[in-house]
Chains A and B, each alone.
Chain A
Amino acid sequence: MSEISHNIVNESPDAIAKRLMQKAHNRDGLPEIAIGLSFLTVAATMWMQVVFHPGSMGYTAGFWSFALLVPAMILGSQWAIKRVRGQFLIEKAGYVQLKPVNRTRSGIVIGIAFVVAVVAAFAAIKGSFPPASLMLARTGIGGGLLAALSGGIPRFVIGGIVMAATGILVAFSRVSLGLGFAILFGLMGALTLVSGCVVFLLFVRQPAETGE
């Protein structure tokens, strides 16, 4: 409770709510499992595009999986988490109905993602990407920072540090961009999945306290 009093002086009610909801959201490990699976899928599809020759069945499967399966997994994961919680974990996780999604904000995010994708596609066609090592290091550090700052939980901070360090190491190892991303996302996906599964098992083993 003393921690709460301290935070109330320093944080607005909105910030308190956001922090508490984030903590509750990550309590059962399901978001980490979803992120881990998405990262592993990204790694697998990138690896397929590195290993197989362009035009081959494996390369095409990797390309289309990356283009279609990965966005579907990312967009569908929130829905899947909600379903699993509502169906199997309601006794432990409780029930919450979030406010409707802000359509303007979602539109802006989708618009920015679309512009970034178009710019990246043009850069790929023109071959004007920055050097692979720079992109790998930037992705590792950027992703690490995002992970460390978004959750505010020690295991996320550790994961962020590991991601940043892996990005830098892969950048120095002079591997190709595709292989570098496959290693970076593969390692982070495996780590996140394992951490999510451990948290999930611990959460499920906790005795449920029901009622008031």
Chain B
Amino acid sequence: MSKKIQRLGEIDRIIHEPARLMIVALLAAVEEADFQYLRQATGLTQGNLSAHLSKLEEAGYVAIEKAFRGKYPLTICRLTERGREVLDKYRKVIRAAL
């Protein structure tokens, strides 16, 4: 039991933050999504979402690219392989500890 609790120390702090976990969980469930969709789905403000996405991008968990759909500019976000691995590990640690 104590070993399981100790494993909580392995939790990735970047992903453990509630708003970032929401973003990563959402991106894990889809192929890709743009900034506006993430904002609608998470209910975060533009500034908040932008800041969290920057942190996730810096950590290499999310890849962000600019694109156009017709005349509409899109900021497309996608979970990287590294992000997927970290989320899987996070799931396992939480499941084992709780």
Contacts and interface: CB of A to CB of B under 8 A. Distances in A.
Contact of A96 (B25, B34, B49): B34
Contact of B21 (A13, A86, A90, A95): A13
B63 interface: no
The 8 closest A-B pairs by CB, nearest first: A94-B37, A94-B36, A13-B25, A17-B29, A24-B41, A17-B25, A97-B31, A95-B34
Find the residue from A21, A93, A96 having the highest chain B CB count within 10 A.
A96
Find the residue from B18, B34, B50, B69 having the highest chain A CB count within 10 A.
B18
Main secondary structure of the interface of B (DSSP, over half): helix
A212 B75 contact: yes
Interface residues of B, number: 37
Interface of B: 18-19, 21-22, 24-26, 28-42, 46, 49-50, 69-70, 72-76, 87, 90-91, 94-95
Interface of A: 1, 4-5, 8, 12-14, 16-18, 20-21, 23-24, 27, 86, 90-100, 209-212
